Amino acid sequence: MIRMEGIHKSFGSNHVLRGLDLNIPKGTSMVIIGGSGTGKSIALKCVLGLVTQDRGEIFVDGKNAADTTDRDAFLARFGMLFQGAALFDSLPVWQNVAFRLLRGTLKRPRDEARAIAVEKLRRVGLKEDVADRFPAELSGGMQKRVGLARAIAAEPEIIFFDEPTTGLDPIMSGVINDLIREIVEEMGATAMTITHDMTSVRAIADNIAMLHEGIIQWTGPVAEMDSCGNPYLEQFINGRAEGPIEAVR
């Protein structure tokens, strides 16, 4: 479904991605792990075209993303949950959720869009009274749920989750992880998640990829993660300061 080949990206002298290769089969959930600043979010943003890679190619369903002529149609296949939810604070919750349904090619009548938004909010465990509130009136966990509802509102084929549990308490993290897993399975969507929360990894992933020094150091099924023998992955999973990943004290 998504294939990244030899992706390079630098910011000045900082070479973030140095030939990243990754394959995400259709209908599977891939979690990319790695330390802070290793380029996980950049990789994800390259797929969406939010960041343009210096070299390398990205294929979605076998088609080179760079050759996309209808960008609206291309982006309509994706949903994304941002790290800080990235809700539009000038709009009430339901308009955030139904944003794509209120304009552009997927535009629906306002009442219908609201009904879909309320249904998606219910799906992520929020009641209808939240629909008319503004994002600033919600807790962090509720904002994440609204962000999740927005990501799935247009029933996308591919969903990206950028640090879905960052800033949440362990219980709320568990709730969000379960929701993500359920929704991805229910929709049959292809998912790509970025996190360094190992609880999320075990809850969400079918496959994982360990990103370090701009390349994928190991990728494989989550069940093989603990016995893979890859020194980078082992150090990361066990949270050890000693190992091939340099820890700055």
Partner 1 sequence: MNPLAVLGRTVLAALAAIGRIALFGADAVSHLMRPPYYTREFAAQLLNIGWLSLPVVGLTAVFTGGALALQIYAGGSRFNAEAVVPQIVAVGMVRELGPVLVGLMIAARVTSSIAAEIATMKVTEQIDALVTLSTHPMKYLTVPRVLAAVLVVPFLVGVGDIIGIFGGYAVSTGTLGFNAAAYINNTVNFLEPHDVYSSLTKGAVFGFCAALMGCYHGMNSGRGAMGVGRATKSAVEGAAILILAANFVLTGVFFTL
Cα(127)–Cα(163) distance, integer angstroms? 24
Q: How would you classify residue 19: left for phi > 0, otherwise alpha for psi between -120 and 50, otherwise beta?
A: left
Site string for partner 1, 121-160 (x = CB under 8 A): -----------------------------x----------
Which structure tokens are listed for 237? 């999973």
Cα(243)–Cα(82) distance, integer angstroms? 31
Residue 91 Cα to chain centre, angstroms: 23
Min. distance of Cβ 84 from partner 1 in angstroms? 6
Min. distance of Cβ 176 from partner 1 in angstroms? 18
86 binds partner 1 (CB under 8 A): yes
48 binds partner 1 (CB under 8 A): yes
Cα(146)–Cα(97) distance, integer angstroms? 7
92 binds partner 1 (CB under 8 A): no
| CB within 8 Å of 196: residues ≥ 6 apart | 33, 34, 35, 36, 163, 236
Min. distance of Cβ 79 from partner 1 in angstroms? 8
Residue 241: strand, helix, or coil = coil
Number of residues that bind partner 1 (CB under 8 A): 25
Which is nearer to partner 1, 155 or 226 (by Cβ)?
155
Residue-level length of the chain? 249
Which stretch, 97-105, 174-182, 197-205, 210-218, contacts partner 1 (CB under 8 A)?
97-105
Which is nearer to partner 1, 73 or 247 (by Cβ)?
73
Q: Residue 181 belongs to what H/E stretch?
A: helix 170-187
Neighbours of 37 (CB within 10 A): 10
Cα(106)–Cα(155) distance, integer angstroms? 11
Residue (of 67, 99, 102, 105) closest to 85 by Cα position: 99
84 binds partner 1 (CB under 8 A): yes
82 binds partner 1 (CB under 8 A): yes
99 binds partner 1 (CB under 8 A): yes
187 binds partner 1 (CB under 8 A): no
26 binds partner 1 (CB under 8 A): no
| Residue in 25, 104, 170, 231 binding partner 1, rule: CB under 8 A | 104
| Residue in 1, 65, 78, 236 binding partner 1, rule: CB under 8 A | 78
Q: Which residues of the shown chain bind partner 1 in the complex (CB under 8 A)?
A: 45, 48-50, 71-72, 75-76, 78-80, 82-84, 86-89, 99-100, 103-106, 150
